[in-house]
Amino acid sequence: MLVRIPNVLSAEDVARFRHILEQQSWVDGKVTAGEQSAKAKYNLQIPQDSDTARQLGEHILQALGRNPIFHSAALPLRVYPPLFNRYDAGMQFDMHVDNAIRPVPGTGFRLRTDVSSTLFLSDPDEYDGGELVIQDTYGQQSVKLPAGDMVVYPSTSLHAVSPVTRGSRWASFFWTQSMIREDTQRALLYQFDQSIMQTRKALPDDHPAVLGLTATYHNLLRQWAEL
């Protein structure tokens, strides 16, 4: 399931992020890649343990905490601290799959990567190429969103960033361990939740149909959730 989430960051937030990131030193993106991914990865990143990455990442986590679409689509249990990358002209990330398990820096915990997220920090007219290409159950999809918008998709998906031929593509990326391990179940719950929200616009919250749908949603969540 691929879900696009608009306005995770405001235009003011994006401008502030870009100004801060422009002042930083970037390193080879291979530092956070697994053995297979490192052979396919050609980009730059902000050091994961830098104060900048931590501060900007915390701002993103706070924004996600207020975002109902992210919660509905990802059903997050744990979210990996956001990372930041850029692809200048000539850079790309060939087709790959994300590592299944990632240690969370400084915590002693590990996180299962169920849901991958890319939060765009460059507008589409700032660069050519650089599309996020995702292979999912509906075939291959190409994603290139306005700055501040985000896409979430299953971490099991093969995906790539196509070569940038002009300009520079900046983004934040991270992973979520969901309460619901299986993407098919997450997709059903997301669609169910969207239907409930549409029903609540047409009917009062105490209507039997709204109460019944809400009860069924939470009973499915109770049955499938892993905590």
Report d(CA 90, CA 187) in Å as an integer: 36
CATH code for the domain of 197: 4.10.860
Dump pLDDT digits (tens) for 157-193. 999 999 999 999 999 999 999 999 999 999 999 999 9
Q: Which domain holds residue 165?
A: 3-178
Report d(CA 3, CA 6) in Å as an integer: 10
CB 92 within 8 A of CB 160: yes
Report d(CA 219, CA 154) in Å as an integer: 23
198 and 86, same structural domain?
no
Dump pLDDT digits (tens) for 47-69. 999 999 999 999 999 999 999 99
The pLDDT of residue 85 is above 70: yes
Q: Does the annotation place 88 within a ligand binding site?
A: no
- Residues above pLDDT 90, as percent of the chain: 91
**Number of domains within the chain:** 2
- Mean of pLDDT over the chain: 95
Centroid of chain to Cα 113: 11
213 and 144, same structural domain?
no
170 and 72, same structural domain?
yes
Per-residue confidence (pLDDT) for residue 206, from 0 to 100:
94
102 and 18, same structural domain?
yes
Per-residue confidence (pLDDT) for residue 106, from 0 to 100:
86
Q: Does the annotation place 218 within a ligand binding site?
A: no
For 207, which DSSP code? S
CB 204 within 8 A of CB 210: yes
139 and 43, same structural domain?
yes
CATH code for the domain of 14: 2.60.120.620
Per-residue confidence (pLDDT) for residue 32, from 0 to 100:
67
The pLDDT of residue 36 is above 80: no
Q: Does the annotation place 98 within a ligand binding site?
A: yes
- pLDDT bin (cut points 50, 70, 90) of residue 31 is confident
- pLDDT bin (cut points 50, 70, 90) of residue 33 is low
199 and 146, same structural domain?
no
Per-residue confidence (pLDDT) for residue 41, from 0 to 100:
82
Q: Does the annotation place 159 within a ligand binding site?
A: yes
| pTM reported for the whole predicted model | 0.94
Per-residue confidence (pLDDT) for residue 30, from 0 to 100:
79
Nearest to 170 by CA among 148, 140, 142: 148
Name the CA radius of gyration of the chain, rounded: 18
Average pLDDT over residues 75-92: 97
141 and 84, same structural domain?
yes
DSSP 150-181: EEEEETTSEEEEPPEEEEEEEEEEEEEEES--
160 and 146, same structural domain?
yes
Per-residue confidence (pLDDT) for residue 9, from 0 to 100:
98
165 and 215, same structural domain?
no
The pLDDT of residue 91 is above 80: yes
Dump pLDDT digits (tens) for 125-155. 999 999 999 998 778 999 999 999 999 999 9
Per-residue confidence (pLDDT) for residue 38, from 0 to 100:
62
- pLDDT bin (cut points 50, 70, 90) of residue 40 is confident
Which two three-digit tokens encode residue 156? 């099991």
171 and 109, same structural domain?
yes
Neighbours of 110 (CB within 10 A): 11
90 and 72, same structural domain?
yes
200 and 139, same structural domain?
no
